[in-house]
């Protein structure tokens, strides 16, 4: 099974659970939104630019090196609260 197959399988499992939950709650109009989110997630997670990101995954400090604009850990990206 390829990485893309694993991504698609995981998103398909999530989508099935999310659609079932929305149906149980009577939120039938949510289905097209969930399907769109699932497709966008598959597209983004399968993009080849994910393969070449320095710094690895979240366990290694984030998807980008901290020295790059927009990179680093999420905590480093949060704006300071106004005092």
pLDDT tens-digit readout, 45-77: 998 886 666 655 555 554 444 444 444 444 444
Q: Which domain holds residue 6?
A: 1-48
Domain for residue 71, yes or no? no
Looking at the structure of the chain, the number of domains it has is 1
- Whole-structure pTM over 0.75, yes or no? no
**Average pLDDT, whole number, for the chain?**
78
Mean pLDDT across 4-16: 96
Residue 77 has, within 13 A of its CA and on its CB side, a CA count of 14
Domain for residue 63, yes or no? no
């Amino acid at each position: 099974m390829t990485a893309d197959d694993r991504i698609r399988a995981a998103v398909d499992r999530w989508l099935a659970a999310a659609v079932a939950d929305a149906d149980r709650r009577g939120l039938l109009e949510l289905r097209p939104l969930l399907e769109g989110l699932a497709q966008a997630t598959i597209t983004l997670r399968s993009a080849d630019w994910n393969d070449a990101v320095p710094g690895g995954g979240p366990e290694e400090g984030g998807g980008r090196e901290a020295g790059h604009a927009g990179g680093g850990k999420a905590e480093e990206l949060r704006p300071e609260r106004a005092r």
